[in-house]
Amino acid sequence: MHIVLISTPIGFLSSGKGGGVELTLNSLVTGLLKKGHKVDVVAPKNSKLKDASGNAKLYHVEGEEQKSWQHQDFYSLVTIPDNSLLSGMIEKAIAIGKNADIILNLSYDWLPIWMTLNIDIPIAHIISMGSESFVISNLISNVHSKYPYNFAFHSKIQALDYPFIKNPIIIGNGFQLGNYEFQDCKNGPLGWVGRVAPEKGLEDAAYVANALGEKLKVWGIVQDESYALKIEKMFSPGILEWKGFLETEELQKELGTCRALLNTPKWNEAYGNVVVEALACGVPVVAYKRGGPSEIIEHGKTGYLAKPDDKESLLGYLKIINKIERKSCREWVENNASTNIFANNVVHWLSKIIEEKQVQNST
Ligand code: UDP
């Protein structure tokens, strides 16, 4: 297959602004190339591809970034800035996609989804968030009624945000296991990883660390400065240890020393890459029973699922975290979320869309 991939219009690849989509894209491209497919990537200027994904052809596009949907009101109208990066990326993808089999869109936005109705080449969409916009959800509903195979989701629980899709296509996510080293550190610190932004609920994890009189190591890009400052002020100095945004190689080395990862999102997390990255290092996870993490974590085997928004429930499970066999955490990733498994799921899905489009074109 020849696949043209459209990246996120929120930030350049390796900036951290695109969140989990950045890692998903690198891992998917690596998996597709390994299977012998041809992949072109259209991404914002300054983007870099990592590991073996660097062998894909990368096209840089300049322009004004989109505002992330999770930081807008649900009923906001769609805005497309002058010199739009997103429309530039779509234009580029269509130009190079003329001879390709399919365009694969990873941006959660209106324009690429609407394009599905208006060009001959099929466009597939990996929906990377729950329902964060009224207009986008309605558009997905509309396009889905004509192109039922063109949307895929990371988890079943994410797809529930789109109830008009009765049998959603679930593709999971993939991680390059060679990038994560298993560490057997039962007495390490507590960790938290993610974009520092309100939907990620860092304050609840800090509450737990504070209650235990321990530091909480925090890795990730500070996307909302005022939110970070507010949390800093809520707790005694030194409870939050800000570690900044690290590349995967460094992140996994440090994360692997933790005795547990706390994962406390307030929204319906589509998947939760950081949960799987912790598990890949052998770190059990205590998370709220909500969104993607509740589908990933096996309660009592690879971590614990606490009652949503109940900090005491988190605390209770942290106290028994050493009951978890760290090897089981790593094993779960090997058996469920490798690059190979993910690429297979995506190839299977894309083949179906191409087939359907051929049938439509011939009738
Ligand atoms: N991440 C990283 N370095 C850091 C902290 C986070 O590379 O120091 C990456 C992490 O590997 C993950 C992403 O940020 O892929 C966060 O993705 P997740 O799915 O957990 O949440 P999202 O940001 O997409 O909501």
- Cβ(103)–Cβ(353) below 8 Å: no
CA of residue 195 to ligand 1 center, whole Å: 7
CA dist., res. 278 & res. 321, Å (int): 14
Q: Ligand 1 pocket, 50 CB below 6 A?
A: no
Phi, psi angle pair for 191, to nearest 5° = -125, 160
Q: Ligand 1 pocket, 201 CB below 6 A?
A: no
Best of 7, 14, 23, 128 for a ligand 1 pocket test (most atoms within 8 Å of beta carbon):
23
Look up residue 191 and give its amino acid.
Answer: G
- List the pLDDT tens digit at each of the 363 positions of the chain: 999 999 999 999 999 999 999 999 999 999 999 999 999 999 999 999 998 888 999 999 999 999 999 999 999 999 999 999 999 999 999 999 998 999 999 999 999 999 999 999 999 999 999 999 999 999 999 999 999 999 999 999 999 999 999 999 999 999 999 999 999 988 999 999 999 999 999 999 999 999 999 999 999 999 999 999 999 999 999 999 999 999 999 999 999 999 999 999 999 999 999 999 999 999 999 999 999 999 999 999 999 999 999 999 999 999 999 999 999 999 999 999 999 999 999 999 999 999 988 888 787
Q: Ligand 1 pocket, 251 CB below 6 A?
A: yes
Q: Ligand 1 pocket, 132 CB below 6 A?
A: no
Q: Ligand 1 pocket, 219 CB below 6 A?
A: yes
CA dist., res. 8 & res. 298, Å (int): 30
Enclosing H/E stretch for 24: helix 20-34
- Structural domains in the chain plus CATH codes: 2-174+338-362 (3.40.50.2000), 177-336 (3.40.50.2000)
Residue 147 sits at the vertex; the CA angle it makes with 8 and 295, to the nearest 5 degrees, is 60
Q: Ligand 1 pocket, 274 CB below 6 A?
A: yes
